[in-house]
């Protein structure tokens, strides 16, 4: 198990006005709408989520970094838990032709509007009960999803990611290291159900028997 950063370059490229997020709109109402995981969350106004999530190639560098780190090759199987529109999965197929990719997400809208090149490999489902066999994938990863789970859901999901992996796994979540990052995270988030600092996440991984790698997104 190691802490690895694959996506903070993308995360920090976006500028965020944390105070505006709280005072310009009814934050509670926005969160309720976001958690429906429908049009508003993906392609509606910014206060409900992404503000329009379209393919622009930004995930290519992440796919390259992860493919290199985990020594992925043609014929390997990769699972994205919380794949959304599957832009990263698509980039994996471009970086490593012949790689088998599979995605799962709770959002029917996200899957219906996913990258068409990989859409046939995507499933609507919950990460607490993955519809895959034991040791089915060479790499299982989840980016920006597991912080949306309540504690009893998280424990089961961690066990599931461990079950379907042949060894390599990676999880990245929103977290904080100090009170400023904690406050900013509270201001900005819409769907987070588990506000845990980095030590708490390490404890959760240990309790569930998760042995893969991990990373964090911080709101500085």
Residue 26: other Cβ atoms inside 10 A = 11
Tens-digit pLDDT profile for residues 41-72:
999 999 999 999 999 999 999 999 999 999 99
Q: CB–CB of 207/157 below 8 Å?
A: no
Q: What is the CA angle 133-137-140, rounded to 5?
A: 110
What would the pLDDT profile of 147-197 be if each residue is shown by its tens digit? Answer: 999 999 999 999 999 999 999 999 999 999 999 999 999 999 999 999 999
Q: List phi, psi (to 5°) of 197.
A: -80, 175
pLDDT of residue 145: 97
Q: What is the pLDDT of residue 11?
A: 87
Predicted pLDDT at 50: 95
Decide: helix, strand or coil at residue 5. Answer: coil
Give the right CATH number for 8-13+59-217 from 3.50.50.60, 1.20.140.150, 1.10.357.10, 3.40.50.150. 3.40.50.150
Q: Which residues pair with 123 in a beta bridge?
A: 104
Give the model's pLDDT for residue 79.
Answer: 98
Distance set, CA 4 to CA 7, 90, 164 (Å): 9, 22, 21
Q: Rg of the Cα trace of the chain?
A: 17
Mean pLDDT of all residues in the chain?
A: 96
Mean pLDDT, rounded, for 194-213: 96
């Amino acid at each position: 198990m190691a802490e690895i950063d694959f996506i903070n370059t993308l995360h920090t490229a976006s500028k965020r006005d944390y105070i505006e997020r709280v005072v310009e709109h009814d934050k509670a109402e926005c969160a309720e709408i976001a958690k429906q995981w429908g049009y508003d969350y993906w392609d509606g106004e910014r206060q409900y989520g992404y503000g329009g999530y379209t393919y622009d190639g930004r995930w290519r560098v992440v796919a390259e970094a992860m493919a290199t780190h985990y020594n992925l090759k043609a014929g390997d199987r990769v699972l994205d838990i919380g794949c959304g529109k599957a832009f990263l999965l698509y980039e994996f197929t471009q970086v490593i032709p012949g790689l088998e990719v599979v995605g799962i997400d709770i959002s029917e809208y996200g899957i219906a509007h996913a990258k068409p090149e990989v859409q046939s490999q995507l499933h609507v489902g919950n990460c607490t009960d993955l519809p895959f066999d034991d040791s089915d994938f060479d790499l299982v990863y989840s980016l920006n999803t597991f912080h949306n789970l309540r504690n009893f859901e998280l424990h089961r999901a961690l066990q599931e990611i461990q079950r379907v992996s042949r060894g390599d796994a990676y999880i990245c979540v929103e977290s904080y290291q100090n009170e400023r990052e904690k406050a900013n995270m509270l201001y900005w988030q819409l769907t987070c159900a588990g506000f845990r600092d980095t030590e708490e996440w390490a404890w959760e991984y240990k309790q569930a028997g998760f042995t893969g790698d991990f990373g964090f997104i911080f709101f500085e």
